[in-house]
Amino acid sequence: MSYIVDFKKVSTAGLESSPAAEALAGLRANEARYFMNKYKHEFTVVPARESQETLDYVNRILKEERDIAFAAKPLETSRLQVENIKFAYIFYEDGLGVNVMYTLDDPKKRAVGFKLSEGMEVPKELEGKFKFARQKSKLAGTIRGSYFVIKGEY
């Protein structure tokens, strides 16, 4: 069952099993606010168990581009297209948010982003491989994020 993320009233719905549920809910709401402000688009998530295609897509890119496979359990995903950009998200139980931004007409604007919920340690799979910048968010506190550019075609 899909769920439209409310960024005005942050909810942990769907994220209850996460030890970082509050921080992860803030991170998810931060993404929802971004899409509403930039694109006037509602950010909708679905339980990971109902979205194998999105999981496979993101996991394939992670594996083929950087040989990354996360041990953490995926809780929710989102997949959408605004203008000429396809987005795919996975929110993991440990507080990690992974997103794929894939422009359809510009191969130079394709990337995978990692966002760590406030208080979360860098996952072992990313340790020493990426530098994380800090970003302040009213909804999510301090988010640490990093990314890499996608070189292949997906």
Instruction: Give the mean pLDDT of 67-81.
Output: 98
- Residue 106, in any domain of the structure: yes
Instruction: List residues bridging with 145 in a β-sheet.
Output: 115, 133
Q: Give how many domains the chain has, as a whole number.
A: 1
Report field, pTM of the whole predicted structure over 0.85: yes
- How far is C-alpha 74 from the geometric centre of its chain's CA atoms? 10
- Residue 120, in any domain of the structure: yes
Q: Which of 75, 66, 11 is nearest to 46 (CA)?
A: 75
- Residue 154, in any domain of the structure: no
pLDDT in tens, 13-47: 999 999 999 999 999 999 999 999 999 999 999 99
- Residue 38, in any domain of the structure: yes
- Residue 54, in any domain of the structure: yes
Containing structural domain, residue 10: 3-149
Q: CA 19, 30, 151, 88: dihedral to nearest 10 degrees?
A: 80
- Residue 112, in any domain of the structure: yes
- Residue 119, in any domain of the structure: yes
